[in-house]
Structures are given as structure tokens and as C-alpha cells.
Structure 1
Amino acid sequence: MRDAHADLIAAEELAAEDPSFAVEAAELRCRVTEFETRLAELLTRDPHHRDDTVLEVRAPGRAEGSAAMAEALVNLYRGYAESRGWHTEMLTAVPAPAFGYRSATLSISARGGTWPAFAEETGLHRGRWLPFTDPPERPVVADAEVLAYPESSWWERFWPDDSEVVFHQYNYGPLPLARRMPDVLLTHLPTGVEAYTAPTYGRTANVKRAQKLLVARLTAVAEGRAEPTYFARVPSRGPTDHIRTYNLIANELTDHRLDLVLSAPFDPDNLTLLAEALRAPVPGSEPPE
């Protein structure tokens, strides 16, 4: 970059004396502009832009509507990821007594990372719909919490000291199967952050999956995305800012940060439009020097 600037200054000085150097000076000026644009992109890029994503979706309170809203968001994120050929994995799911989820932890991964698509999903998501009664009663209004945080493929580099982590293993069901596929719970003693994975691929794979999730949660805490108590056995409340409303009655999706209204509230393609709009630079803003 410094050499390009020096060459441009020299070419402009020569062009002032000899017009034949004007073409070369113009070419160097375009090259310097390209370098500056590229440098601005690198300086403003999220360091996690090639990481994968973990989405924590929870139903605050005990209302059935919140559990239904949490399930609708999980299905929205899974449909959005699968439509792009990305891999989705349900790490944990706590079903509500009637329907929906009390909480669910979803991992979305792909070659090249998925974090830019979900980086702005953290917040309270509100749904409005008419109950399935005849005649319909007053509209149902329910919230669901979403916490998004990146998950690195290089988690081994950030693994804490083994003495700081307590390993728990739970065996359920028929003994031979339970021994091969136990539930795994890891607890980070200094912070109280926990990571739990249900049996899926076998003991070794479950342990590695829990370790990767624990590192992602510790990183989220270190970067201020969540409090350590959010990942405790009795979790605290999560995000409290309403960022989006899914109005099924009016068939509208409203993002309150952008003051943007779209049709078809649970259309996965809307997430692409919202992610691009939220990543767009604010008019009048300047890249860091």
C-alpha cells in the first residue's frame, strides 16, 4: 500500500512534466483506490466471518404461546439453512408440555462459515396470530428469546485448562446403548458456564461436541454477547430488546431496527434480505483509519 502511494506520487510528478506519463498515473490512481477499498473492507470485517453459528432459542415464562413461537423460529432457521445446503444440528431441545420448545440449541455450519447470516438475530422476537378457535378469540401475542453467537472450527486452540472443567456423564435407557451413547455435561468452574449435548453419535463424538459448544459459549461470554448465568443450569433471562415482530394476522414481518416491513413473516428468504440490510454501512459513516 505504501509503495503504491509512492509510485502514484512519482507518476503524478512525472506527468506534470511529461504528459506521456498521464496514462500510467491514472492506472496507478485506480490501483490505489482499489487497495484502499479492500483495506477498508478488511478493517470493518467481523473476525468471526468464517465461523459457524449457534442459535439459542428460548421461551420466556411458561406461556404456551412463547413455546409455539420458539418452535416457529427453530423451524424458520432450519428451513433457511437447509434451503442453502447448510448443515443443521439440534444440540439440545426441551419440549413444552403441550407443544413447542421451552428451549432449543441449534448449530448451523457450512464450508466458509454461516455466522454473517445470523450475526444480527440476537434479541426478542414477537409473534402475533389468531388462536385456533371458532370463533377466534383475541390475538395471541408471544415472545421468544434468540441468542446467536459464533462457533469456531478451531475450538481446540481456545480450550481452557482441563482442571477448570468438570465432566459429567449420564446414562439413560437400556444399559448397552446408554454406555455407548451417554448424555454429556461439561461445567466450566471459574464461570459456571455449562455445555450439554444429548446422545447422538456415540460417547467420543458427544464429548467433542460438548467441548466445542463450551468453547463457543465461553467466547460469547468473553465478548460480552451474554452473561455467564445465561448458560448456567438455572439460566437467567436473555436479550430484552424487541428486534422483530412476526404478524401472521396482517401477514407482515417488521424489523424494528431498520423500520422495514416485509410480507410472508416466516419466509426463509426474508432472512437474507434482513442480513444484507443490517450489514450495509450507515449512510455518512466512514471506515476506520
Structure 2
Amino acid sequence: MQDKLEWAEGRYEEISEQMSQPETIADADRLARLMREHAQLEPVVTAWREWRSLRDRQAQAEEMLQDADMAEMAREELAALEPALRQKWHDLQVLLLPRDPNDDRSVIVEIRGGAGGEEAALFAYNLYRMYTMYAEKRGWKTEIVSLNETELGGFKEVSFTIDGDGAYSRLKFESGVHRVQRVPETETQGRIHTSTATVAVLPEVDEVELEIDPKDLKIDTFRSSGAGGQHINKTSSAIRVTHLPTGTVVECQDERSQYKNKDKALRVLRARLLDAKVAAQNAEIAANRKSQVGTGDRSERIRTYNYPQLRVTDHRIGLTIYRLFDVLNGDLDEIIDALIAADRAEKLKESMENG
């Protein structure tokens, strides 16, 4: 582990020097790459230097034990330094865990109403509102890609982008089946119904990272339509893109411009293709993968929102909180922080088991 830390410090200093050179400053792409790597290494190097400083203080205190006049002070210093050194070393172990390469990316979120008919569509709208409010709290930008509404204001399905640094790192554990237990507005008997919606969180991919051959695409245009089949406009501005090798279909009808809809559809297509590629790779090594919170499988029930008890339960980590409406209003950090902590703990455990 010390070798990794020393390498990280050396690389950090090397990048710092390169970033100040005129040829680097003149190359915007290279400078941006170096700045990203520099920012990723900085917390590791800072913690490593802090640990070394604590270790130096410990060595000085141990020498002071030999001086009768200073021994008591030295023992107090050592008693305070020991837990600080343990904690800092643990922090370093966490910082050196393998990093998800997609963590810094923006995301495309897809929500679909599941079991429960109209009530499931209304719940899908609630989830969309929850994520957009969370994004707003973090200063991220959201934009709808495609939307299929119901007459009562629910969403049969919605795709939207969340643009912001680290969006994927915060939202990647949201993929799966979300369940709601409540009395629907249409229920005259006051009975509690259970409905579901599925959420998929896909890291957004740059065009240069996943190139798509135009010959593999079939692009159709059609008229945008809203709830109940009402035409939003009379021009064929909506776009349907079919990726012929995989059969993946993406529609976008949010914009009145064909070009804008095509651009959005291709963004979603690239994200879905990457997601499918990563899912296939993960399936091959699933038997050996312990360090994850849940499987990320679309069919996995991950969370329940219980209205009568004002309760939200995340089933993967056994977390229950009684602030339902706060959560639905975008106050997700307590849940997300707990999921990230649990994932890190599993990865740290696996790392230690594997030496």
C-alpha cells in the first residue's frame, strides 16, 4: 500500500509541474485531462502527507519518553496520536479503493411505471419530481429527453438528463424497482395499494468514446403526441432511432426541432449501448463480484415508500427513515450517503480479503 501512496504522490507532483508548462496550457484537451487526474489524486496525496506528519509527531513523542521531565506530556501526545493514525490509515485504504471510471459523468435517468396501472404512472411522476428536485439542490441541470404522459398527469415513461460533476457517483445506486404503498386518489374504499416503477441510471457517454456507425442506424420521424393522443404540433419533429445490430430503439419528441431531438436520442442510445456492454461484462464476473450494493438489476426491488407510516426503506442496506415527504422533495443525501458508505465497506472488506 505504501508503494501505491508514494507513486500517487510522485504522479501528483509530476502533473503539477506539467500543468504549469506553456505547451500544456496551449493544449486545452490535455490540460483538462491532467486537471481531472490532479483532482482525483489530490485527496489521496493530502491524506498521505497528513499521515506522515502524524507519524513524525509520534516518533518525536516516543523520543520524549526518555526525558523524565517530558515523559508525561509525551504519553498524552501518544495517546491522542494513536487513534488519529488509525483513522487516517483507514481513510487512505478507502481512498485507494478501485474507482468507478464513470463516477464523474453526467447521467441519463429513465423511469417507467410498472405494476399498478395509473397509480404506477403517478408514482413514476413522483420519482421524476424527486430526482429533479435533488438535482436542483446540488446545482445540476436537468432536461427531458422523452416523455409519455397519462391523462391524469402520471408518466408511463420519462427519460431525462442530469448534467453535473459527479452525478453518476451519487445516483448510480438508484437503478432498480421502487415500490410505493399508499391509498390512490381513485380508491373510494380507502384501501392501500402497492405499485411499482423502475428506474435506470445510465452514465452519459461522449461521442468520441462510443462511436456509432451511421449505417447501423435507422431514423424515422413522426408527429409528437401527448397524453390521450393530443398532437403537440403538426410537424413531424419527433425522432425514432433504431440501432440495427442490437435492436435498441430510442424516441425523442420533447423538442420542436428534428435536429435537437436526433441529438438527444443519440445521447440516450450511446448511454444504453454502453450500459448493455458493461452489464454483459459484469455478468461474466458476477460470481466473483462481492463489492457492490445490490446487483443493479432492473428487476431488483430496492426501495419502498410507505405513505401511511411516512416511511422509506432501502432494502439493500436495511435503512429505514421516517421522513417520506422530505425524501420525495429531493432530500436524498441521507440515503445516498449510506449506500455509498456500505459499498465502500464491502469493497474494503474484499480488498483486505484479497490482500
Structure 1 or 2: more strand by fraction: 1
What SS class does the counterpart of residue 336 from structure 2 fall into?
A: helix
Equivalent pair of 1:169/1:184 in contact (CA under 8 Å): yes
Paired with 2:56 and 2:232, the residues of 1 have a C-alpha distance of: 79
**What's the CA shift for 1:174?**
9.7
Paired with 2:143 and 2:5, the residues of 1 have a C-alpha distance of: 47
Q: Normalising to structure 1: TM-score of the pair?
A: 0.75
**For residues 165 and 42 of structure 1, do their structure 2 counterparts lie closer, same or farther at Cα, with a shift above 3 Å needed?**
farther
Paired with 1:167 and 1:184, the residues of 2 have a C-alpha distance of: 7
Per-residue CA deviations over 1:162-188 (Å, capped at 9, x if unaligned) read 21112222356799x837xx1122111
Within the alignment, does 1:138 sit opposite 2:138 as a pair?
no
Within the alignment, does 1:282 sit opposite 2:351 as a pair?
no
Paired with 1:3 and 1:144, the residues of 2 have a C-alpha distance of: 43
**Of 319, 323, 338, which aligns to 1:264?**
323
Per-residue CA deviations over 1:232-277 (Å, capped at 9, x if unaligned) read xxxxxx8222111111111111111111111222424542111111
| Equivalence for 1:229 | none
Within the alignment, does 1:164 sit opposite 2:216 as a pair?
yes
| Equivalence for 2:305 | 246
**Of 113, 125, 138, which aligns to 1:84?**
138
Counterparts of residues 104-183 of structure 1 (less than 5 Å): 104-110=158-164, 112-132=165-185, 136-152=189-205, 154-171=206-223, 178=235, 182-183=237-238
**What's the CA shift for 1:282?**
2.5
Paired with 1:3 and 1:102, the residues of 2 have a C-alpha distance of: 49
**What's the CA shift for 1:2?**
4.3
Within the alignment, does 1:71 sit opposite 2:135 as a pair?
no
Structure 1 or 2: more helix by fraction: 2
CA RMSD, Structure 1 to Structure 2 (Å) = 3.5
| Equivalence for 2:64 | none
Larger mean CA deviation between 101-110 and 269-278 belongs to 269-278
Q: Percent identity?
A: 26
Give the gaps of 5 or more residues in structure 1: 7-21, 227-237
Q: Normalising to structure 2: TM-score of the pair?
A: 0.62
Compare relative contact order (CA 8 Å, sep 6+) and give the higher one, 1 or 2: 1
Q: Supply the AA of the counterpart residue of 1:140.
A: H
Give the gaps of 5 or more residues in structure 2: 8-54, 61-83, 225-230, 282-296
Matched length: 255
Larger mean CA deviation between 61-70 and 128-137 belongs to 128-137
Paired with 1:151 and 1:252, the residues of 2 have a C-alpha distance of: 32
Counterparts of residues 20-31 of structure 1 (less than 5 Å): none
What SS class does the counterpart of residue 65 from structure 1 fall into?
A: helix
Paired with 1:273 and 1:122, the residues of 2 have a C-alpha distance of: 17
What SS class does the counterpart of residue 184 from structure 1 fall into?
A: strand
Q: Supply the AA of the counterpart residue of 1:244.
A: R
Q: Supply the AA of the counterpart residue of 2:345.
A: V
Equivalent pair of 2:144/2:159 in contact (CA under 8 Å): yes
